[in-house]
Structure 1
Amino acid sequence: MKKYLAALSTTALFSIAPYALASSVDLTVTGVITPAACKPSLSGGGIVDNGKISAKDLNRTTHTLVGTHPLQLTVTCDAPTQFALNPTDNQAGTESSRSWFGLGMTDAGEKLGYVRVDVKNTQADGVPAQAIDSEDDGTSWSKTFVTSPGYILSVGSAADHSTPLYVQHLTMDFEVSTQIAPANSLTLTGEVNMNGSVTFDMMYL
């Protein structure tokens, strides 16, 4: 039955568009296998603990900064390598302010706040460098002082912010700030857990 239907379809194709079979489309598969491997890590296991915050200490109509914590990002490669880190917000859609990482939701379905990650001192193989990011998957790069969703993060020289460096050992000092949404927008009748989570995936350029 299937073969009969297929034959009918082919006949119809010839009668309606006799030149259709003369056209074609190519599938091209490219890529590069790199001998180098890089391993990213965060100091303190990447954990930021803001402790317990009393609801009465939150601003009613504006965001409240409840903690600022330093973390150091380290990337170690087998050899000098051109790479970037792609931050994925595991709580996407819960951020109470655009451009930053989400902090989860209250039990009532309200956006709890956001996490901002500032990039401070950057060193590439022991030399002062500049954090750079790209929103077009590496086609163009610019100087940055933060890392945020939708932008891949890399490092350029202090003088050239347009091209990622080949680096074997990178350190970036992060400053992680936690902001809670205005208290008048939240249901705070019980304990509410902060649940921010960001994954930095390694990309070889």
Structure 2
Amino acid sequence: MKKITLLPLALALVANLSMAANSVDLSVTGTITPAACDIALAGGDFDFGTINTSDLSAGSTTTLPDLDAGHSLSITCSAPTQVSFRLIDNRLSSRPSGSSNDSLGFGVDGSNNPIGSYRIWAGSLLADGEGAYLKATNCGGCNWFTAGLPSELVRPLNSYAYAIDPISNGFSAPIPITNASATLAIRNATIQPASSLDTSTDITLDGAATIELVYL
């Protein structure tokens, strides 16, 4: 008897049977993403032009004129979105000692001396084509309050954010919007006393800030 040949045949039969399938799984997949928003600035850079050293006070700060015409912030979303924005000072380390915590830095001169500071103000708000209100939170959205207009945008704090809201209820969270805008102005700009600056060469005002969207 050649029983030895029956074992491989049996194993092959079992293997073939194990490869047979009576059902198949079907997967249905996709990705749901939040509506996207764009933020833009119109009006170009804020430019104080050329300031003569002789126009600077030697022993005290010099106040510069306000720049409050022709600049605006706009937010456009692909669908109604609950969104806010925050201000980031890219020259924070140059803010002069003793200046307001709400001020932003103008950068430093050739000898690394702080040049001065300025503040950003917002006004004339619109949301979805209607007059709107500026709401703020200082706790990442745990509560909200309405700021008067024009309103100074507070120096960057991680938990501080603003929203342009068509609803006047002062303490309610901002509602979703599709588009919003606000005029922007530079005010309270000051230059440090000339005696504290290196005036042997040109000094370039180098204020730089970022306005960043924060989805709620």
Q: Secondary structure at the match of 1:75?
A: strand
Q: In the aligned structure 2, how far is the partner of 1:78 from the partner of 1:129?
A: 20
Q: In the aligned structure 2, how far is the partner of 1:180 from the partner of 1:106?
A: 11
Please say if residues 74 and 169 of structure 1, whose CA atoms lie closer than 8 Å, have aligned partners that are also in contact: yes
Please say if residues 119 and 186 of structure 2, whose CA atoms lie closer than 8 Å, have aligned partners that are also in contact: yes
Q: 1:20 maps to which residue?
A: none
- 1:179 CA displacement: 2.5
Q: In the aligned structure 2, how far is the partner of 1:66 from the partner of 1:127?
A: 31
CA deviation map 1:123-158 (0-9, x unaligned): 111111111222221222222312122231212345
Within-5 A mapping of 1:108-127: 108-127=111-130
Q: 2:182 maps to which residue?
A: 172
Within-5 A mapping of 1:113-192: 113-144=116-147, 145-148=151-154, 149-150=156-157, 151-157=160-166, 159-162=168-171, 163-177=173-187, 178-192=189-203
Q: Secondary structure at the match of 1:194?
A: coil
- Sequence identity, in percent? 28
Q: In the aligned structure 2, how far is the partner of 1:188 from the partner of 1:132?
A: 42
Within-5 A mapping of 1:28-177: 34-45=33-44, 47-60=45-58, 61-70=60-69, 71-96=71-96, 97-98=99-100, 99-144=102-147, 145-148=151-154, 149-150=156-157, 151-157=160-166, 159-162=168-171, 163-177=173-187
Give the direction of change, closer, same or farther, for the CA distance of 1:58–1:158 in structure 2 (3 Å limit).
farther
Give the direction of change, closer, same or farther, for the CA distance of 1:185–1:132 in structure 2 (3 Å limit).
farther
Which ranges of structure 1 fall in alignment gaps of 5 or more residues? 1-32
Q: In the aligned structure 2, how far is the partner of 1:142 from the partner of 1:184?
A: 42
Per mean C-alpha deviation after superposition, the further-off stretch among 174-183 and 187-196 is: 174-183
* Letter of the structure 2 residue corresponding to residue 94 of structure 1: S
Q: How many residues are paired up? A: 172
**TM-score w.r.t. length of structure 1:** 0.76
* Letter of the structure 2 residue corresponding to residue 197 of structure 1: A
Please say if residues 40 and 74 of structure 1, whose CA atoms lie closer than 8 Å, have aligned partners that are also in contact: yes
Higher strand share: 1
* Letter of the structure 2 residue corresponding to residue 74 of structure 1: S
Q: In the aligned structure 1, how far is the partner of 2:33 from the partner of 2:170?
A: 24
RMSD of aligned residue pairs (Cα, Å): 1.8
Which ranges of structure 2 fall in alignment gaps of 5 or more residues? 1-31
Please say if residues 89 and 209 of structure 2, whose CA atoms lie closer than 8 Å, have aligned partners that are also in contact: yes
